[in-house]
Amino acid sequence: MRRKTTIFGCTAVMAMLAFATVACKDEAVLEGRPVSEWVSLLRHSDWSMQEKASDALVRMGPVTLPHLQKAMTTKDPTLRRWAAVTLGRLGPKAKPAVPKLLNRIAREEVPNIRAAIVEALARIDIKDPKVIAELEKRAKRDVDGTVKSTAERALAKGKEDPKPKSKIKAGGQDLKNWLLRDEVAKVIEGKSPAASFAIIAEVAREKRRAAIVWPGVDAEGKILGDEVLAFIFEKKGDKFKFIEKVGPLRGSEAAGKLAEVLGGADGQHVVRPCGVAKEELAAHLATQGAAFAKALEDKKPADAMAAFEQLSKAFSFTRVAYDDSVIKMLRDGFFAQAWILDLKAEGNQVPMNIKLADKEMTGMLILRPCGVGFVIGELKEQKAAAPKSDPVP
């Protein structure tokens, strides 16, 4: 009976959103919620809940396709965009949804949703002739510049010869080309762009865009602090005008602060490379942690910030942007040590152990699918039991 009265329950979802395609009793369930309930959460007012819902749907796999395809037909733009994003994250598993996506993009009036559909089509099947034809049309004729550039990048990537994955390189170059890096550098006066800060992500909503920044290291390699800030810009013609700096982004109020300056929590689009292969996670953390420490020792702040940007790929957006614990662990050297992970553990919970000098941390990593692999969504430390005292006679 609970689901008949709660706003996200099956009965309410079917009545309010009209995109549930099967009876509740027949739906797959994850963490106590059926598919239709997870789909309804894609339009939640809290961006972190939208991300969590998308993660859950990806974990559930192809069983979600009928629901996500139906969500593409709703009037809610937030729901349509997240449905497209989630279908793209399912990759080839979402191939049955390609006709629906092609049909939707022909009628979609919202540019950032068309861009999400373009990216989804490319991720699902970039070799499909109909997908290629649609991407070529968008690259040439779409009225929105973002849609055009997204299609162009997808087509270029589709033509690349498949190559074996390269080993992780400290201070890699794939995170250098942030749209707002030069603009942030102008705001942080007297600092070299790569020497003084790292960009964790960029969040766009309509004409506003936020660079989520850790202004962590000065020119001498000294760490300035743990605070993560948001630099807000607004697009004026072909340029971005700086509006204000917001922060620190920390805790339960962080998402609200960001939504306020962006003009709303709905319609936000997060841009950031993310995800590491599960079997490479421990090596990635140690490699980038060691690279960060060595760069500070050598007084090479640009390399330190590049290593941190690479490290941030292994964490969910909310974990690295709204929680300074990752930066504190980096400062304490925890990422320069070998993490012992039990990769044989089933599901998304991975037991872990870290030893650092006289400190030891044991607990559980909660992984979520993101981008090309997985990210750490939560790190649950296991508290040592207090020693038992002898009974008092």
pLDDT score of 255: 85
- The CATH number of 278-381, from 3.40.50.720, 2.40.50.100, 3.30.70.580, 3.10.450.50, is 3.10.450.50
pLDDT score of 383: 55
Check: CB of residue 364 under 8 Å from CB of residue 382.
Answer: yes
Closest to 52 measured CA to CA, from 74, 71, 31, 66: 31
Question: In the β-sheet with 349-356, what is the strand arrangement from edge to edge?
Answer: 340-341, 349-356, 359-370, 373-381
Q: Block means of pLDDT (10 residues each) for the chain, length 393 residues?
A: 35 42 62 88 82 85 92 92 92 93 92 91 92 92 89 82 35 52 78 66 89 76 77 88 87 84 84 85 88 86 86 89 85 80 72 72 82 81 50 43
Q: Which fold has domain 2-159?
A: Leucine-rich Repeat Variant (1.25.10)
Cα Rg of the chain (Å, integer): 22
- Nearest 5°: the CA angle 188, 235, 208 is 80
pLDDT score of 175: 43
Three-state DSSP at 147 gives helix
The full set of domain ranges for the chain reads 2-159, 181-271, 278-381
In one-letter notation, the amino acid at residue 238 is: D
Strand partners, 61: none
pLDDT score of 297: 85
How many whole angstroms separate alpha carbon 260 and alpha carbon 21?
35
Closest to 53 measured CA to CA, from 118, 17, 64: 64
pLDDT score of 166: 30
